[in-house]
């Protein structure tokens, strides 16, 4: 199965969203003392995923 550029960006977006949700969940439930840091990094992953999603169709 050969992926074109849009397919790769779609998969990268999905992976970044999953990692972002995982980091936010870790900050909320496992490492509550540094939860704000985990949430900030998770939101950063969401921002990068948003950029990847916006690039689909333009590359």
- High-pLDDT (> 70) share of the chain, %: 97
Question: What per-residue confidence (pLDDT) applies to 1?
Answer: 67
Neighbour-count burial of 54, counting CB atoms closer than 10 A to its CB (0-12 exposed, 13-18 middle, 19+ buried): exposed
Domain count, the chain: 1
User: What's the pTM?
Assistant: 0.83
Cα–Cα distance, 22 to 2 (Å, whole number): 28
CA 29 centroid distance within chain: 19
- How confident is the model over 6-32, as a mean pLDDT? 91
Kindly state the DSSP code that residue 57 receives in the 8-state scheme.
T
DSSP helix, strand, coil percent of the chain (3-state; round to 5): 85, 0, 15
- For 11, the domain range is 5-55
Non-local CB neighbours of 10 within 8 Å, separated by 6+ positions: 53, 56
């Amino acid at each position: 199965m050969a992926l074109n550029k849009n397919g790769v960006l779609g998969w990268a977006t999905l992976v970044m969203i999953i990692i972002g949700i995982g980091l936010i969940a870790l900050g909320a439930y496992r490492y509550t003392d540094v939860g704000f840091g985990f949430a900030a990094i998770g939101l950063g992953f969401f921002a990068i995923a948003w950029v990847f999603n916006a690039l689909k169709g333009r590359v």
